[in-house]
């Protein structure tokens, strides 16, 4: 691949949609899923008291949502490749509204778990197609720029949602949280119904069977390498988030307020990395800098752990650097993975989203099941993930038969 991608100065996409409109649509699409994922978390104590639910049942609410959200992406992706993006997206958001309204009227925790699964089944459309629609509109540096903006929204919105949920629940009760979700999603649905144009013309739609299309994407060596790199990076972030609260609260004895502050402190690093990725067209340089930041962050977190210490500033600095590297890697690798598949972007996007969530879940499960050895646990796991990223990108580099249009990067 060329080390530098030629930037585009076009103000409209090839389909004739103004670029700001595409960006606004994508951000609000992503917001539907991200809002539903975390807005109800502050209301869980109220839900438990009102529905007489124990801790395991309350955890099942989130699990049901995430499971449906991850699995249904594998359905929306291939369907959208065959019939277009617009109808599956609008139907998915409408389904999430139904799920939120049902959740607001439940009388048992089992019904709430089922309603949460229905929500996840609906917002999965936005999760899958938020990767596919940019590929329909753009290639090269413009694709990476848009993916960087979407990446920022994916990370930023879950931080805002709990504050909205907390204020809503304290003021109007926990059921109002689900009404808020339904109202927001309804507004997004109306906006997209009026403004969203079909981004995948009939002539570019997939004619192969679903299994043949999946086989085509998965047989692409570079796609497998880029996907593995994304999984490893996302797993490192998920592992940190799974253990950070324990390290800050139990080991460093920080107050709940400072635990929350330190927990979200790495996010600006991620946003900075994604912003840099969106402003650059030097793919090889971005990947190398991203790996260097991931490695530096993992090393800073690992060194105190090797001596049995938990040092607050190393956790803070290391996580900021790691997240900054991840911010560079996500839009770059996502764009590289989607670039070769203009007709299978739905399936490719579904695989990226679904496998990332699966990898993150495995990493979080590992941190929950394995004994915690202070800072050593997170430092060592993040370092292993960095090594996997390096191996994955070199595996992608060795892909044969690529043309100059592919975004294969050498590291």
Question: In this structure, how many other beta carbons lie within 10 angstroms of the beta carbon of residue 6?
Answer: 10
* Angle at 178 (CA atoms; ends 176, 181), nearest 5 degrees: 115
Q: How does the average pLDDT of the chain come out, rounded?
A: 84
Cα–Cα dist 310/299, whole Å: 14
Q: Which of 362, 338, 353, 355 is CA-nearest to residue 76?
A: 353
DSSP for 263-279, please give it: HHTTHHHHHHHHHHHHH
Tens of pLDDT, residue by residue over 271-318, are: 999 999 888 777 788 899 999 999 999 999 999 999 989 899 999 999
What pLDDT score does 321 carry?
97
Report residue 148's pLDDT band, with 50, 70 and 90 as the boundaries. confident
Q: 173: phi > 0 → left, psi -120 to 50 → alpha, else beta; which?
A: left
User: Which range is most confident: 27-41, 173-187, 266-280?
Assistant: 173-187
CB burial string 133-151: b at 16+ within 10 A, e below: bbbbbbbbbbbbbbbbbbb
What pLDDT score does 405 carry?
42
Report residue 399's pLDDT band, with 50, 70 and 90 as the boundaries. low
What totals of helices (H) and strands (E) does the chain contain, helices first? 15, 0
Lowest mean pLDDT among 10-19, 97-106, 218-227: 10-19
What pLDDT score does 17 carry?
55
Residue with the larger pLDDT of the pair 15 and 49: 49
> CA quadruple 228, 150, 23, 268: dihedral positive or negative?
negative
Residue with the larger pLDDT of the pair 244 and 252: 252
pLDDT over 90 (residue 237) = no
Question: In this structure, how many other beta carbons lie within 10 angstroms of the beta carbon of residue 257?
Answer: 8
CA quadruple 365, 371, 376, 378: dihedral, nearest 10: 10
pLDDT over 90 (residue 140) = no
Cα–Cα dist 120/100, whole Å: 10
Cα–Cα dist 74/92, whole Å: 13
Q: Are 96 and 180 in contact (CB under 8 A)?
A: no
- N residues, the chain: 411
What pLDDT score does 411 carry?
40
Say whether 327 sits in a helix, a strand or coil: helix
Q: Are 89 and 141 in contact (CB under 8 A)?
A: no
Cα–Cα dist 328/271, whole Å: 9
Cα–Cα dist 318/297, whole Å: 4
Report residue 403's pLDDT band, with 50, 70 and 90 as the boundaries. very low
H or E segment and range at residue 103:
helix 86-104
pLDDT over 60 (residue 4) = no
Cα–Cα dist 260/154, whole Å: 19
Report residue 408's pLDDT band, with 50, 70 and 90 as the boundaries. very low
């Amino acid at each position: 691949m060329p080390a530098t991608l030629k930037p585009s100065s076009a103000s409209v996409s090839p389909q004739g949609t103004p670029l700001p409109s595409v960006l606004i649509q994508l951000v609000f699409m992503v917001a539907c899923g991200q809002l539903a994922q975390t807005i109800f978390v502050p209301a869980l104590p109220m839900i438990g008291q009102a529905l007489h639910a124990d801790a395991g049942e309350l955890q099942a609410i989130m699990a049901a949502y995430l499971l449906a959200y991850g699995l249904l992406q594998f359905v929306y992706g291939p369907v959208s490749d065959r019939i277009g993006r617009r109808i599956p997206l609008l139907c998915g958001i409408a389904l999430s509204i139904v799920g939120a309204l049902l959740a607001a009227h439940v009388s048992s925790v089992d019904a709430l778990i089922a309603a949460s699964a229905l929500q996840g089944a609906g917002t999965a459309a936005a999760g899958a197609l938020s990767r596919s629609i940019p590929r329909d509109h753009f290639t090269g540096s413009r694709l990476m720029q848009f993916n960087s903006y979407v990446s920022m929204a994916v990370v930023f919105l879950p931080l805002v949602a709990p504050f909205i949920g907390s204020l809503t629940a304290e003021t109007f009760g926990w059921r109002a949280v689900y009404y808020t979700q339904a109202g927001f999603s309804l507004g997004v649905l109306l906006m997209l119904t009026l403004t969203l144009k079909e981004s995948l013309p009939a002539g570019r739609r997939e004619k192969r069977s679903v299994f043949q299309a999946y086989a085509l994407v998965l047989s692409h060596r570079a796609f497998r390498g880029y996907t593995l790199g994304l999984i490893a990076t996302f797993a490192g972030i998920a592992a940190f988030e799974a253990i950070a609260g324990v390290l800050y609260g139990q080991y460093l004895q920080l107050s709940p307020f400072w635990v929350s502050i330190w927990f979200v402190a790495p996010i600006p690093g991620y946003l900075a990395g994604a912003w840099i990725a969106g402003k650059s067209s030097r793919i090889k340089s971005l990947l190398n800098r991203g790996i260097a930041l991931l490695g530096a962050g993992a090393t800073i977190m690992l060194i105190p752990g090797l001596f049995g210490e938990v040092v607050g500033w190393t956790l803070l600095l290391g996580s900021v650097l790691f997240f900054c590297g991840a911010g560079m890697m996500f839009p770059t690798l996502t764009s590289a993975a989607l670039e070769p598949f203009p007709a299978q972007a739905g399936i490719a996007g579904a695989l990226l989203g679904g496998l990332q969530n699966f990898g993150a879940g495995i990493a979080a499960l590992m941190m929950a099941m394995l004994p915690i050895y202070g800072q050593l646990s997170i430092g060592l796991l993040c370092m292993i993930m960095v090594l996997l990223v390096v191996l994955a990108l070199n595996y992608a580099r060795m892909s044969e038969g690529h043309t100059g249009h592919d975004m294969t990067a050498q590291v």
